[in-house]
Structure 1
Amino acid sequence: MTHIDPELYRRMAAYNSWMTQKAYEAAGNLSDAERKADKGAFFRSVHSTLNHILFADRAWMRRFTGRPYDIKGMGVDLFDNFDELTTAHLQICDDINVFADELSEDWLSGTLEWTSVTDRKTRRRPRWLLVTHMFNHQTHHRGQLSTLLFQAGIDIGVTDLPFMPDLIGEYSD
């Protein structure tokens, strides 16, 4: 049996919320046209990269919780309107925090079986691995996003987990 401390995922959920808020604040400094401009990124633009992160979060949370989150196909924007995208993304962050707060070692040590909407294959993987993947996926694409924003002249600021504001009070420097 694998022993994964659920506290790891609570910390990653808090990090996700912090970074998502920072990403949307930074992206809000761009015009709609600038956010949607194809910059040659994997998901083309700032706007579509944000949509993709939300898509994946919804897909994984749907698998983990059974909640019927609305998703479209891979690479299809869920929201065209930035304000609606922002609201939906911050909502999934709240949902992920609640999910992480309720995780247990027993649940994490189990296996999840799902059928991919992309290739229709059924897969089985350890839950802890899939939850880890969800957080890793967010971080990966936020890295792309921070590069796109930096290229547009916007510095998203500190992104390192050890410097997340809620940790500052817990540890002395």
Structure 2
Amino acid sequence: MNACETLRLQARYNAWMNARLYAVCAPIPEADRRRDLGAFFRSVHGTLNHILLVDRLWAGRLAGRAPHFEGLDQILHEDFATLRMRQAGADADLQARVEVLRDADLERRVDYLSLMTGEARSLRVGTLLTHLFHHQTHHRGQLTVLLTRLGVDFGETDLIWMEAVH
């Protein structure tokens, strides 16, 4: 499996896992989804929001735009249904972008300003996408801890359980 195939698999897994977790979160009462449970982004809603914000941030950078956010905890959508719809759209866009990548594309550099420090940075597309998928996994891991605290069964999260792998 080459680097582009690996990124395509990660994009499919990313979309699959996000859809599954949104489906698990949908029946949770709104107050519980917003309850501060001590995570980086406080709540289930805050964590889901952060995942989408960072997806939009990196998608904009990949496209040569500099999206503006006030911070990594800026709430994009108060409404869960809208957040869910926007995440599904972001996942579909990311899959489409990764699907057409060639090896040479992974070497292209993306210049950007860090939202955290304001400093100019530069990453290869391959590194940027790898970071994005690891970032998603990191925060989905936090989300599963929050769901456990709420007594919610989120099922299997390992890539090997994704049907498209078999």
TM-score category, normalised to shorter length: over 0.9
Give unmatched runs, 5+ long, in structure 2: none
**2: CA distance, partners of 1:157 / 1:23:** 9
Taking structure 1 as the reference length, what is the TM-score of the superposition? 0.89
Deviation track 1:32-73 (CA, whole Å, cap 9, x = no partner) reads 110000000110000000000000011011111236767442
- Say which of 101, 104, 117 aligns to 2:102: 104
The number of aligned residues is 165
Paired residues of 1:55 and 1:72 also in contact (CA < 8 A):
no
Residue of structure 2 in register with 1:164 after alignment = 162
The one-letter amino acid of 1:60's match is W
Paired residues of 2:61 and 2:67 also in contact (CA < 8 A):
no
- Please state whether the residue corresponding to 2:23 is helix, strand or coil: helix
Residue of structure 1 in register with 2:115 after alignment = 117
Q: Could you list the structure 1 runs, at least 4 aligned residues long, displaced by more than 6 angstroms after superposition.
A: none
Shift in CA distance, 73/100, structure 1 to aligned 2, threshold 3 Å: same
**1: CA distance, partners of 2:102 / 2:54:** 22
Deviation track 1:127-146 (CA, whole Å, cap 9, x = no partner) reads 21111000000000000001
- Say which of 112, 126, 129 aligns to 1:128: 126
Give unmatched runs, 5+ long, in structure 1: 169-173
**2: CA distance, partners of 1:124 / 1:148:** 34
* Range that drifts further, 29-38 or 72-81: 72-81
